[in-house]
Chains A and B, each alone.
Chain A
Amino acid sequence: MNDDVVVQLRDIRKTYNPGGLAVHVLKGISFSIQRGQFVGIVGTSGSGKSTMLNILGMLDVPTSGDYFLEKVNVATLSDSDQATVRNIRIGFIFQSFNLFPYLTIEQNIEVPMIYKRVSPRIRRARALELAKVVGLGHRLGHRPTQLSGGECQRVAVARSLCNDPAFLLADEPTGNLDEKTGNEIMALFHRINKEQNVTIIMVTHNPMFEPHYDKVIRLRDGRIVQTKPTDSVDELTGPLSGFGELPQDRMAADAKATLTTTAEQEGASR
Chain B
Amino acid sequence: MMRFTDIVSLSFLNLRLHKTRSLLTSLGVIFGVGSVISMMAISKGAERSALSQIESMGIDKIIIYTKKPHFDTSGGNSSGRGAATSSVEDYGLDVRDYQFIRTMENVHHITTIRNTRQPITKGETRLDLKLCGVSLGFMKDTSCHLTSGRWFNEIDFRSPSTICVIGQNVKHRLFPLGATDVVGSNIRTPYASYRIVGIISNDNGTSLPEVGSPNDLILIPSNTDLSIYGNYASESQGRNRNKAILVDYDVMLVNVANLEYIDNTSKRLQNYLEKAHSKSKDWDMIVPLDLLKQRERTQKIFTIVMGAIASISLLVGGIGIMNIMLASVSERKKEIGTRRALGAQKFDILFQFLIETVILTTLGGCVGIGLGLGLSEIVKRYAEMPTEASMTNILGSLLISSFVGVVFGTYPAWRAAQQNPIDVLRSE
Contact = CB atoms under 8 A, between A and B. Distances in A.
A111 interface: yes
A54 interface: yes
A98 interface: yes
A154 B158 CA distance: 106
B425 A53 contact: yes
Given A83-B343, A92-B342, A59 B422 contact: yes
B281 interface: no
Interface stretch (A34-42, A112-120, A216-224, A235-243): A112-120
Contacts of A4: none
B2 A50 contact: no
Which 6 A/B pairs are nearest by Cβ-Cβ distance? Answer: A87-B343, A98-B338, A115-B343, A83-B345, A92-B341, A112-B342
Interface string B1-13: 1110010000001
Contact of A94 (B3, B14, B344, B428): B428
Interface string A155-173: 0000100010000000110
Given A96-B428, A102-B14, A80 B346 contact: yes
B422 A98 contact: no
Contacts of A96: 428
Nearest to B346: A79
Contacts of B347: 80
Interface residues of B, number: 26
Interface in A36-73: 50, 53-54, 57, 59-60
A31 interface: no
A102 B14 CA distance: 8
A16 to B, nearest CB: 12
Nearest to A119: B3
Contacts of B421: 59
B348 interface: yes
Interface in B291-318: none
A117 B1 contact: yes
Interface in A93-144: 94-96, 98, 100, 102-103, 111-112, 114-117
Interface residues of A, number: 32
A111 B339 contact: yes
Interface of A: 50, 53-54, 57, 59-60, 79-80, 83-84, 86-88, 92, 94-96, 98, 100, 102-103, 111-112, 114-117, 159, 163, 171-172, 175
B426 interface: yes
B243 interface: no
A86 B341 contact: yes
Interface majority SS (helix, strand, loop, mixed), chain B? helix
Nearest to B1: A117
Given A112-B342, A114-B3, 12 more contacts: A50-B425, A57-B341, A59-B422, A80-B347, A86-B342, A92-B342, A111-B339, A111-B342, A112-B343, A114-B6, A117-B1, A117-B2
Nearest to A96: B428
A2 to B, nearest CB: 27
Nearest to A86: B343
Given A59-B421, A102-B13, A80 B345 contact: yes
Contacts of A117: 1-3
A88 B344 CA distance: 11
A114 B425 CA distance: 22
A189 B17 CA distance: 33
A50 B343 contact: no
B117 interface: no
A59 B343 contact: no
B67 interface: no
23 contacts: A53-B425, A54-B425, A57-B425, A59-B422, A80-B346, A80-B347, A83-B340, A84-B343, A84-B345, A86-B341, A87-B342, A92-B342, A96-B428, A100-B335, A100-B338, A102-B17, A114-B3, A114-B6, A115-B343, A115-B345, A117-B1, A117-B2, A171-B428
Contacts of A57: 341, 425
A199 B428 CA distance: 24
Contacts of A102: 13-14, 17
Contacts of A92: 341-342
Contacts of B341: 57, 59, 86, 92, 94, 98
A95 B334 CA distance: 13
A50 B426 contact: yes
A210 B425 CA distance: 23
A57 B428 CA distance: 16
Most chain B C-beta atoms within 10 Å of own C-beta, residue among A88, A112, A159, A172? A112
Contacts of A53: 425
B424 interface: yes
